[in-house]
Chains A and B, each alone.
Chain A
């Protein structure tokens, strides 16, 4: 609602960044490379912004605050909700006044679209940590993305769902851009695998009471339901209603993107979400050395377990990409050279092996099929049960 919800809860991390910038100021004033990070650090999406910051801080803790002798200074800017006018103003100031060499972050698509026209003139690359619409990548050649797109996570999910022998699906998505994308991708994947989406439901944004939707799903006689909702209060209502109205007890299978079961919501969802199948690029519980180290650093940065979730890994990998850019340009500001240098870059991320696709500059990664289950300690996790390596963004494929 009334927009200025910026009580970014990050006192500690903010103070850290502030103290950091002070010390750099006199230590290496001659060679400090500034990074501008734009994200929702306050407001209803503050948790996602906090995760941006945790990812960045985790990377800095593990790799130090300099690359090739160049000190890195992070400038955080708060953009609580999708607001392109504000996004442009913040980006302009970061470029012109703060003289950042790199821009990172960005949670919402319209904000990214407002920033991309500035990149060429500012000679600044933008590394997107989240904003997930395919079209952003074509709006400027200076954009690289380390998150995922809805189509990317949904396509393997659709195939896996159809492969389970379920033929009759209903899709229920929130009625806005990403929801419509998800619906399209799921339908395409299911139909390619011989299944059928018998009904597509688009639900109003902000709805938290889903029993009429469940009634509609029941009437359609679905064996499987595909759902996409933005993370937050609606997902809780949806998953609970699915279980309460008897669809889950009746054996209807619920498939969704990982947004619905982000780790910070799992304790609230609890038993109602058990057995839900999701497709996503990252789970906190991913089993690898790299991930365990990342989670340890990330949880420390965010101030304890329970809040770390997927945007953190986008930010962490974004920092990796920016560091490679700094190394490749020898610290000089050259956006084109920087972007050129990371095309085709491949590395081991906390989510598994990833690569920047040289054509689209979007990240190629493994998409996992996960099931909500309890781990050995009794905590709810997204348990990986199947993987689809080397997934590109189908939305950008020509």
Chain B
């Protein structure tokens, strides 16, 4: 595919099919998660919440080429906004998700406005500084956020007035899964839209795009706002499902983890973000449960191996494998 998304003839129909197929796959995987692991739904809900964060990061890193180690600023903004709203009587889950999305989008706008002033490494440093500042702020404003003790005591209303967010976590999981599928579908449309193509173009050849008379800042800042909304929804989902918001949701640690998961899965494909999140968090969960001594060493080794042997991430490697197989299958 060329920079501006000009595709060879006959390729137009295929992406749409691929999109539908991947959405069906997500729904299938989600449903089988529900049936196969009925006792792990809280964990699976957490995976979905983080998956939204990683998706949002893919929009910025994978599609616009802006490296960020501060994406949790947007996730945390959504989580705290939803949590605070819930404590103040707004308990309808759908409304809380919207509040989270709005808070994330606003924070995304501000973050973008600062980060777009630099490029490369200084930009990365800006993202770190922003998430650290917000972390400090959340700690200082203990009257509002609960500070280091966490914001707790929120009781979201039952989903559709019927299904409680309870110990078994079925409502939370299905709610999250629905949210993820809808978001994913919308994002697919977004990245295929002219707007998405311009972003991709800015990443790959900014000079050429500006020669077309498009200025980068308004495009990129819009993407920041969208990315913020997606991350904010993830945060709000976490707040609803856990009923506690901690300082960890606006941390450098979470941001860095999200980046690791994204690169593990593969940049700029949306599906890579999902694969990376599920694989990383599952490995972590399983290994943690059998009590290893050296989980961290293992993750380190995995990271090194990926950079050396699978530079395009898991999904990129899968694609390549598929292409090889196809080629071999041909006479």
Contact = CB atoms under 8 A, between A and B. Distances in A.
B is a partner of A: yes
Nearest to A116: B152
Contact of A10 (B147, B247, B291): B291
B139 interface: yes
A84 B241 CA distance: 11
Contacts of A180: 142, 147
Given A42-B295, A42-B296, A95-B167, A176 B253 contact: no
A282 B42 CA distance: 37
A379 interface: no
A86 interface: yes
B142 A177 contact: yes
Interface stretch (B185-193, B201-209, B254-262): B254-262
Q: On chain A, which size bracket covers the interface? A: 35 or more
Given A86-B46, A89-B43, A177-B142, A6 B292 contact: yes
Contacts of B167: 92, 95-96, 118, 121-122
B217 interface: no
Interface in A170-206: 175-178, 180, 204-205
B297 A82 contact: no
Interface stretch (A11-19, A218-226, A234-242): A11-19
Contacts of B104: none
B149 interface: yes
A93 interface: yes
Contacts, number: 153
Interface in A120-144: 121-122, 133, 135, 139
A78 B291 contact: yes
B39 A97 contact: yes
A92 B292 contact: no
A9 interface: yes
Interface in B133-149: 136, 139-140, 142, 146-149
A116 to B, nearest CB: 8
A204 B148 CA distance: 13
A319 to B, nearest CB: 19
A351 to B, nearest CB: 25
Nearest to B252: A1
A139 B154 CA distance: 12
B242 A84 contact: yes
Nearest to A230: B148
A223 B273 CA distance: 58
Contact of B42 (A4, A92, A135): A92
Contacts of A111: 246
A88 B42 contact: yes
A205 B46 CA distance: 27
A8 interface: yes
Nearest to B40: A93
A2 interface: yes
Nearest to B79: A85
B295 A6 contact: yes
A92 B41 contact: yes
Contact of A7 (B40, B169, B244, B293): B293
Interface of A: 1-11, 14, 17-18, 41-42, 76-78, 81-86, 88-89, 92-93, 95-97, 109-111, 113-114, 117-118, 121-122, 133, 135, 139, 175-178, 180, 204-205
Interface of B: 39-43, 45-46, 49, 136, 139-140, 142, 146-150, 152-153, 166-169, 238, 241-249, 252-254, 256-257, 260, 284, 287-299
Closest 6 CB pairs between A and B? Answer: A110-B150, A97-B39, A6-B295, A84-B244, A92-B42, A176-B148
Given A14-B292, A121-B166, 18 more contacts: A3-B253, A6-B284, A7-B292, A42-B295, A82-B148, A82-B150, A84-B248, A85-B49, A88-B243, A88-B244, A92-B169, A96-B39, A110-B148, A110-B149, A113-B244, A118-B167, A178-B148, A180-B147
